[in-house]
Amino acid sequence: MSEPLLVAEHLQMTFASPDNPLEALADATFAVGVNEFVSIIGPSGCGKSTLLRILAGLATPTGGRVCLRGEPLTGPVRHIGFVFQHANLMPWRDALHNVMLPLELQGMPRQQAEERAREVLELVDLADFGHALPRDLSGGMRQRVALARALVYDPDLLLLDEPFGALDALTRERMNWELLRIWQARRKTVLMVTHNIQEAVFLSDRVLTMSPRPGRIDQEVVVDLPRPRQQEALYIPRFMELTRILRESLR
């Protein structure tokens, strides 16, 4: 692994309840290197999304800590971009102005914000759809707008919470190619939660598996497939072996 950008140390999360406190995370410890693509997989309800919200500074753990570039993370910061499972676009704003929103909130001059947003829309192959409203875009296109919105202020770390989970299989496969293309162009540090083992292997440098709730990091699998990756990688014996290893680790 390269130099750590993000370090999670003994993260714990218990949701308080008068009758039945829920322990979501027991002890999650791992690191993500600069320019690395890491995926997290695990059974439903194991705390993956809770973990990602803690790493984004959107939730405070009941134990442990998160460090970004060696500094403790105590809340949301502009160095971290987040893409949710659903695009969560503002329906009255077109694609361009949805992407511009984070820059507007930062107080960037309008012309500069628009130029930056157009550049990122071109990166996600939506340059011709800047004036389209969310209702006029397909599910995959809406997710690309959400991805552009997360990339527009050039974050150091991109967190993806099952970003293609709501898409049909064919669209999801296309989005995997799009994400791989964008990652290879920008080389952002990415941490992605997914339920899809093949997706995790195809995109990642490493895959972390989580135990059933309360979640902890059970295993790390290094994806030693060469980059840049082509579609043929899906059919080679090593790809199939890695998917088997990960599938068995979740049993």
Give pLDDT tens digits for 4-53.
999 999 999 998 877 778 888 998 999 999 999 999 999 888 889 999 99
CATH assignment, 1-79+157-251: 3.40.50.300
Q: Where are the domains of the chain?
A: 1-79+157-251, 86-154
Alpha helices by DSSP H, listed for 10-77, are 48-55
39 contacts 195 by C-beta, under 8 angstroms:
no
Share of the chain above pLDDT 70, in %: 99
| Residue 211: partners with Cβ closer than 8 Å, 6 or more residues away | 26, 42, 46, 218
* Predicted TM-score (pTM) of this structure: 0.93
Q: How far is residue 105's CA from residue 51's CA, in Å, rounded to a whole number? A: 26
The H or E element that residue 207 is part of is strand 206-210
pLDDT digits 0-9 by tens, 149-203: 999 988 999 999 998 887 888 888 888 988 998 898 888 999 999 999 999 999 9
Tell me: the pLDDT tens digits for 83-111?
988 889 999 999 999 999 999 988 999 99
What pLDDT does residue 233 have? 87
Burial annotation 96-110 (CB, 10 A radius, 16+ → b, else e): bbbbbbbbeeeebee
Q: Please give the pLDDT value at position 174.
A: 87
Can you tell me the distance from the alpha carbon of 11 to that of 21, in angstroms, rounded to the nearest whole number? 17
